[in-house]
Amino acid sequence: MFISDAFAQAATPAASGPAGLLNSMLLPIVMIVVLYFVMIRPQMKRQKETKAMMDSLAKGDEVVTQGGVIGKISKLGETFATVEVANGVELQIQRSAIVQVLPKGSYK
Protein backbone atom coordinates (compact mmCIF):
# COMPACT_ATOMS: atom_id res chain seq x y z
CA MET A 1 0.00 0.00 0.00
CA PHE A 2 2.63 2.62 1.01
CA ILE A 3 5.50 1.03 -0.88
CA SER A 4 5.58 1.72 -4.59
CA ASP A 5 6.75 -0.75 -7.15
CA ALA A 6 10.36 -0.48 -8.36
CA PHE A 7 11.00 -0.74 -12.07
CA ALA A 8 14.36 -1.45 -13.64
CA GLN A 9 15.85 1.22 -15.87
CA ALA A 10 17.57 0.59 -19.14
CA ALA A 11 21.30 0.12 -18.69
CA THR A 12 23.45 2.99 -19.93
CA PRO A 13 26.31 1.91 -22.14
CA ALA A 14 29.69 2.17 -20.37
CA ALA A 15 32.28 4.42 -21.93
CA SER A 16 34.61 2.22 -23.84
CA GLY A 17 37.49 2.69 -26.16
CA PRO A 18 40.16 5.40 -26.06
CA ALA A 19 37.83 8.14 -24.81
CA GLY A 20 36.73 6.06 -21.80
CA LEU A 21 40.32 5.18 -20.92
CA LEU A 22 41.38 8.82 -21.13
CA ASN A 23 38.54 9.95 -18.88
CA SER A 24 39.28 7.29 -16.27
CA MET A 25 43.02 8.08 -16.18
CA LEU A 26 42.70 11.89 -16.21
CA LEU A 27 41.92 12.37 -12.50
CA PRO A 28 44.87 10.32 -11.16
CA ILE A 29 47.27 12.06 -13.55
CA VAL A 30 46.02 15.50 -12.49
CA MET A 31 46.33 14.50 -8.82
CA ILE A 32 49.94 13.37 -9.30
CA VAL A 33 50.85 16.64 -11.05
CA VAL A 34 49.25 18.71 -8.27
CA LEU A 35 50.99 16.60 -5.62
CA TYR A 36 54.34 17.21 -7.32
CA PHE A 37 53.93 21.00 -7.42
CA VAL A 38 52.42 21.30 -3.92
CA MET A 39 54.57 18.87 -1.92
CA ILE A 40 57.55 17.35 -3.70
CA ARG A 41 59.00 20.36 -5.54
CA PRO A 42 59.05 22.72 -2.51
CA GLN A 43 60.69 20.01 -0.37
CA MET A 44 63.42 19.47 -2.97
CA LYS A 45 64.02 23.24 -3.12
CA ARG A 46 64.28 23.44 0.68
CA GLN A 47 66.79 20.55 0.73
CA LYS A 48 68.90 22.27 -1.92
CA GLU A 49 68.94 25.53 0.08
CA THR A 50 69.90 23.69 3.29
CA LYS A 51 72.74 21.86 1.54
CA ALA A 52 74.04 25.15 0.09
CA MET A 53 73.94 26.72 3.57
CA MET A 54 75.83 23.77 5.08
CA ASP A 55 78.49 23.94 2.37
CA SER A 56 78.98 27.68 2.86
CA LEU A 57 79.57 27.53 6.64
CA ALA A 58 82.83 29.13 7.69
CA LYS A 59 84.71 29.99 10.86
CA GLY A 60 83.30 33.17 12.41
CA ASP A 61 79.73 32.70 11.13
CA GLU A 62 77.00 33.39 13.64
CA VAL A 63 74.53 30.51 13.69
CA VAL A 64 71.37 29.18 15.34
CA THR A 65 71.11 25.48 16.23
CA GLN A 66 68.02 23.26 16.25
CA GLY A 67 67.80 23.73 20.01
CA GLY A 68 67.74 27.52 19.66
CA VAL A 69 71.30 28.09 20.85
CA ILE A 70 72.95 31.10 19.22
CA GLY A 71 76.71 31.22 18.85
CA LYS A 72 79.72 31.85 16.66
CA ILE A 73 81.56 29.04 14.88
CA SER A 74 85.10 28.74 16.26
CA LYS A 75 86.14 25.42 14.65
CA LEU A 76 84.66 23.62 11.70
CA GLY A 77 85.16 19.95 10.89
CA GLU A 78 83.77 17.55 8.34
CA THR A 79 80.79 16.45 10.47
CA PHE A 80 81.10 18.55 13.64
CA ALA A 81 81.32 22.26 14.40
CA THR A 82 82.46 23.95 17.58
CA VAL A 83 80.22 26.86 18.49
CA GLU A 84 81.25 29.47 21.04
CA VAL A 85 78.11 30.48 22.97
CA ALA A 86 79.82 32.66 25.60
CA ASN A 87 83.37 33.73 26.46
CA GLY A 88 85.24 30.46 27.07
CA VAL A 89 82.14 28.27 26.62
CA GLU A 90 82.19 26.11 23.49
CA LEU A 91 79.76 23.45 22.34
CA GLN A 92 80.61 20.73 19.87
CA ILE A 93 77.58 20.03 17.67
CA GLN A 94 76.86 18.21 14.45
CA ARG A 95 76.85 20.40 11.36
CA SER A 96 73.34 19.15 10.54
CA ALA A 97 72.09 20.71 13.82
CA ILE A 98 72.73 24.20 12.41
CA VAL A 99 69.48 25.55 11.00
CA GLN A 100 70.24 29.19 10.22
CA VAL A 101 73.16 31.52 9.59
CA LEU A 102 72.60 34.95 11.13
CA PRO A 103 73.74 38.22 9.57
CA LYS A 104 77.10 39.48 10.87
CA GLY A 105 76.75 41.45 14.11
CA SER A 106 73.53 39.76 15.26
CA TYR A 107 75.28 37.93 18.09
CA LYS A 108 77.49 39.78 20.56
The closest of 89, 86, 76 to 107, measured between CA atoms, is 86
Domain, as residue range, for 94: 58-102
Domain membership of residue 95 (yes or no) is yes
Q: Does residue 41 lie in a domain region?
A: yes
Q: Are residues 48 and 75 in the same domain?
A: no
Residues 6+ apart with CB under 8 A from 15: 23, 24
pTM: 0.64
Q: Does residue 67 form part of some domain?
A: yes
CATH code (residue 92): 2.30.30
pLDDT digits (tens, 9 = 90+) for 61-85: 999 999 999 999 999 999 999 999 9
Q: How many domains is the chain partitioned into structurally?
A: 2
Region 9-18: mean pLDDT is: 63
**35-60 pLDDT, tens per residue?**
999 999 999 999 999 999 999 999 99
